Amino acid sequence: MEDVQAVRGYLERSGWLEGIREVRFLAAGEYNENHYVRASGGEYVLRINHGSQLGLGREQIGYEFSVLSAVAPSGVTPRPYRVDPWPEGLSGGTLLMDYLPGRPLDYSHNLERAARILARVHALPPDDGLIRQDRAVLDIVAESEGLLDRYPDHPRPEMRDRLLAYRDDVLTLNERSRDFLASEPPVMVNTEVNSGNFIMSHMDGRHGKGDFLVDWEKAVVSTRHQDLGHFLAPTTTLWKTDTRLDREQREAFLSAYRRELLLLGAAAPDMDALREGSAILERTILLRALSWSHMAYCEYTRAERAIRNADTLAKIRQYLDNAECFLTWKE
């Protein structure tokens, strides 16, 4: 993690902001850290990149800037201002963007507002400069296989065998659904729509100014069902909460999503198509989530690796111990 004084010094040298009054650390993940910045012009976040899930290396931060620029017309994402892939005095590329106050999504009260956020992004024309993922299911399967193959000496080989069997089920589902998925027009998708990446205002009722979706580092142009399926998947809803969406909640979410598309004058799949597409990708994303958990379990339990987050390890164990509950799918 970068020293706060080093971050402040970099900002003062860059000339991006005038009257810098406060710089403080906000949060960090596996690949980025974020610092809050208050200056005479307003409140900002300086994001510092330390890796790429897309294999882009040092180009990752520039790609994220391009994504944020492309989705900015939605009005529900952070506005990007400046990007610097090679910042002097810091160890990773930097991105300056809006600071957005609010709270994480509450599944009990904010489902329809979250659906409207996704609809506003998906209604935009896809940007030609972004990575395309035209075979979403096959790409996610390939990613999952890479995760499962990372540690041949894994202490839970039986789970790997179970997930590979489930992979075969997903491939069969993809073969049956090929024409349906190919007929869906591509949109810009976030691909990581967990509750912590939504920033909700404290207002109630219909979405207005103050509801946002952040963290666009893995965004691609693909099927809308990547976002819808990821949002509905139990491995997503249970990650930071104790929520598993029931049939009524799922239907309300998809209905609100479709209504918002229609209000925006955008192409809106019918409800049957939304149910089918989100179910296909939800099953696929469950494979990736459990494959990641299988890989991460090995990393987190090795003696030479310090545990960075005990809550994460507890969640990984919960997912693996209850994997059959996730993988037993009722069509």
Question: In this predicted structure, what is the pLDDT of residue 11?
Answer: 95
Could you report the per-residue pLDDT of 48-106, keeping only the tens digit for each?
999 888 889 999 999 999 999 999 999 999 999 999 999 999 999 999 999 998 999 99
Q: How far apart are CA 136 and CA 194, in angstroms?
A: 19
Question: In this predicted structure, what is the pLDDT of residue 210?
Answer: 83
Distances 249 to 115, 145, 255, 266 between C-alpha atoms, Å: 11, 32, 10, 23
Q: How far apart are CA 27 and CA 206, in angstroms?
A: 29
- Residue closest to 147 by CA, chosen among 312, 302, 320, 294: 294
Angle at 287 between CA 283 and CA 290, to 5 degrees: 130
- Residue closest to 7 by CA, chosen among 30, 34, 40: 34
Question: In this predicted structure, what is the pLDDT of residue 164?
Answer: 96
Side-chain half-sphere exposure of 269, counting CA atoms within 13 A: 23
> For residue 312, what pLDDT band results from cuts at 50, 70 and 90?
confident
Question: In this predicted structure, what is the pLDDT of residue 329?
Answer: 63
The pLDDT of residue 330 is above 80: no
Could you report the per-residue pLDDT of 132-141, keeping only the tens digit for each?
999 999 999 9
Could you report the per-residue pLDDT of 250-259, keeping only the tens digit for each?
999 999 999 9
> For residue 207, what pLDDT band results from cuts at 50, 70 and 90?
very low
The pLDDT of residue 202 is above 80: no
Q: How far apart are CA 32 and CA 48, in angstroms?
A: 6
The pLDDT of residue 118 is above 80: yes
HEC string for 61-86 = HHHHHHHHHHHHHHCCCCCEEEEECC
Cβ-based burial of 38 (10 A; exposed 0-12, middle 13-18, buried ≥19): middle
Question: In this predicted structure, what is the pLDDT of residue 5?
Answer: 94
- Mean pLDDT, rounded, of the chain: 92
The more confidently predicted of residues 13 and 331 is 13
Question: In this predicted structure, what is the pLDDT of residue 307?
Answer: 47
Lowest mean pLDDT among 82-86, 185-189, 327-331: 327-331
> For residue 280, what pLDDT band results from cuts at 50, 70 and 90?
very high
Question: In this predicted structure, what is the pLDDT of residue 303?
Answer: 53
Q: Which two tokens stand for residue 210?
A: 């103050």
Q: How far apart are CA 263 and CA 257, in angstroms?
A: 10
Question: In this predicted structure, what is the pLDDT of residue 205?
Answer: 45
Question: In this predicted structure, what is the pLDDT of residue 209?
Answer: 62
